[in-house]
């Protein structure tokens, strides 16, 4: 058995796809597929089932993950453990968060954090997977390359300290030009015939994703994207009605809110840290920073700090 094949196997198990594993390992999907196939041949067992949404572990694959995960977790943590040795309240901490949270919430609090901890080097890692709706993968180490993570899903396993710190509400937005041309829906049936900008089909149907899956039955899909920035940009260009986090959509001067979080719902925000690292002073400082930042911006996160912008009366017949 080639022990390096195990690294490829864990990457696919964690990412749920060949492309995700390839991106993580810096190789192409053909290499990933070849290495996984080699491991399956050596073990004489099928480790994955190929499905429409990606690669799912077989019973044999789950058994192998269970055996490998503790080793993978300890090996991946060694560099940070050595770096943390002897550090007090200062040092370096890698914090993972979605682009929306990093730019629209945490960045606003960085100056005060910097003044309080001038010797602490904070590195923000923006990972698109953290913005996905649904539960965290049951396999793989969600804190493999970072010390602390703030994600939109509750962890399902792992040696982690975890805490729900808030909810990120979603609303439906459109450009004034789109509303002027197409009319502004006031209730769910009014969505019929409109163009929607929403989530990929692979997203777990929770909160706003579930609402979108219902709305698209009577409306037209203009665009699906896992990128919140792409959805917002498309809405600004008048492409359709976009599902966006309130903390982002409410400050967009070129967009107006159509439906609020009372209709679309929200996603939970969970703070995670490895149990052993959470005992270190500099890691605790970052965790406290995140908790306090979420508290201070709770109204914005939940879509309650919204100023309604009235549109001029629409001219012409409804469409």
Residues 6+ apart with CB under 8 A from 42: 1, 2, 5
Alpha carbons 108 and 212: distance in angstroms, whole number: 30
pLDDT of residue 197: 96
* Residues 15-31: tens digit of each pLDDT: 888 888 888 788 898 99
Q: Let me know: does 58 contact 25? Beta carbons within 8 Å.
A: no
Q: Let me know: does 254 contact 244? Beta carbons within 8 Å.
A: no
Q: Crossing angle, helix 4-15 and helix 29-43, to 10 degrees?
A: 110
Name the β-bridge partners of 287. none
Residues 6+ apart with CB under 8 A from 24: 11, 14, 15
User: How many C-beta atoms lie closer than 10 Å to residue 2's C-beta?
Assistant: 11
Does the pLDDT of residue 14 top 90, yes or no? no
How do the domains of the chain map onto residue ranges? 4-77, 86-319
The DSSP secondary-structure symbol of 307 reads -
User: How many C-beta atoms lie closer than 10 Å to residue 145's C-beta?
Assistant: 16
Using CA atoms, how far residue 79 sits from 73, 74, 145, 153, in Å, is: 12, 10, 10, 26
Does the pLDDT of residue 221 top 90, yes or no? yes
Alpha carbons 143 and 160: distance in angstroms, whole number: 9
Alpha carbons 148 and 106: distance in angstroms, whole number: 14
Give the mean pLDDT of the chain: 83
pLDDT mean over 230-250: 96
* Range of 188-197, 233-242, 265-274 with top mean pLDDT: 233-242
pLDDT of residue 145: 72
Token pair 């929770």: residue: 206
Alpha carbons 184 and 21: distance in angstroms, whole number: 43
Which pLDDT band holds residue 139 (cuts at 50, 70, 90)?
Answer: very low
Structural fold of domain 86-319: D-Maltodextrin-Binding Protein; domain 2 (3.40.190)
CATH 3.30.420.10 fits 4-77, yes or no: no
Alpha carbons 195 and 238: distance in angstroms, whole number: 10
Alpha carbons 240 and 231: distance in angstroms, whole number: 9
Which 3 state secondary structure label does DSSP give 178?
helix
This prediction has a pTM of 0.69
Residue 276 CB-half CA count within 13 A: 12
Alpha carbons 222 and 212: distance in angstroms, whole number: 12
Q: Let me know: does 223 contact 197? Beta carbons within 8 Å.
A: yes
Nearest to residue 68, comparing CAs of 91, 39, 93?
A: 39
pLDDT of residue 316: 41
């Amino acid at each position: 058995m080639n022990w390096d094949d195990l690294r490829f196997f864990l990457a696919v198990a964690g990412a749920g796809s060949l492309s995700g594993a390839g991106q993580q390992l810096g190789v192409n999907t053909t290499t990933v597929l070849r290495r996984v196939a080699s491991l399956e041949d050596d073990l004489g067992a099928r480790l994955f089932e190929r499905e429409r949404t990606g690669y799912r572990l077989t019973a044999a694959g789950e058994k192998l993950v269970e055996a490998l995960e503790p080793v993978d977790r300890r090996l991946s943590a060694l560099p940070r453990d050595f770096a943390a040795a002897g550090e007090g309240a200062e040092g370096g901490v890698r914090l993972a968060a979605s682009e929306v949270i990093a730019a629209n919430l945490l960045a606003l609090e960085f100056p005060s954090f910097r003044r309080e901890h001038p010797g602490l080097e904070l590195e923000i890692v923006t990972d698109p997977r953290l913005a996905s709706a649904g539960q965290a993968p049951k396999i793989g180490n969600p804190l493999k390359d970072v010390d602390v993570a703030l994600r939109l899903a509750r962890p399902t396993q792992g040696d982690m300290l975890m805490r729900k710190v808030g909810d990120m509400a979603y609303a439906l937005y459109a450009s004034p030009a789109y509303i002027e041309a197409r009319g502004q829906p006031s209730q769910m049936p009014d969505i019929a015939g409109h163009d929607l900008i929403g989530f990929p089909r692979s997203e777990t149907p929770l909160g706003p994703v579930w609402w979108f899956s219902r709305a698209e039955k009577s409306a037209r899909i203009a665009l699906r994207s896992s990128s919140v920035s792409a959805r917002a940009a498309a809405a600004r260009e008048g492409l359709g009605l976009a599902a966006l986090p309130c903390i982002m959509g409410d400050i967009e001067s070129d967009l107006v809110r159509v439906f609020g979080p009372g209709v679309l719902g929200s996603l939970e925000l969970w703070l995670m840290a490895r149990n052993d690292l959470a005992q270190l002073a500099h890691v605790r400082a970052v965790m406290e920073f995140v908790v306090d930042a979420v508290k201070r911006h709770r109204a914005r996160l939940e879509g309650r700090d919204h100023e309604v912008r009235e549109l001029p009366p629409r001219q012409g017949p409804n469409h």
